[in-house]
Amino acid sequence: MASNSKVLIIGATGCIGKFIVEASVKSGHQTFALVREETFSKVHTQEYFKSHDVEVLIRFLPSEFGMDVDRVHAVDPAQSLIEAKSQIRRVIEEENIPYTFICSYYFARTSIQNLFQPELEAPPRDRVHILGDGTSK
């Protein structure tokens, strides 16, 4: 089942990523895996990728779990953090360090796990606080 398509999988060594790599390979796609060097240390992962001609791309991936710091406007104390992260981006670019910025945004990383109730460590089981009047889709 040959295919001319190319698939880049970001987070290919993660819990879900490894299954996406496998599905891509089985579907006949030329598959590329963007990984951090420290997460690519598992021997069985390296062997699987090599035996299935998955091309591994090792890149520096700064933590951007929250927002694209070059596109957000905020007030302190958040603005100070955003400015620091933005300065790190500029240094990376100036030094010509190969990089990939991936912004997973605040909602997916932080809020969904406790349904916007920061005092909880897991999704509520008995009662959920609905923001707004509860009629929004």
Instruction: State the DSSP string of 65-84.
Output: -S--TTT----TTHHHHHHH
Over residues 88-95, the mean pLDDT reads 91
* pLDDT tens track for 45-83: 888 899 999 999 887 666 666 678 888 877 777 788 888
Q: What is the pTM of this model?
A: 0.53
CA distance 82 to 94: 18
Over residues 82-101, the mean pLDDT reads 87
Over residues 108-134, the mean pLDDT reads 64
Measured CA distances, 77 to 60, 81, 111, 117, 120 (Å): 27, 7, 19, 21, 23
37: helix, coil or strand?
helix
Identify the structural domains of the chain with CATH numbers, from first to last: 1-58 (3.40.50.720)
At residue 101, the pLDDT reads: 77
At residue 73, the pLDDT reads: 77
50 in catalytic set: no
Catalytic residue, from 6, 42, 50, 85: name it: 85
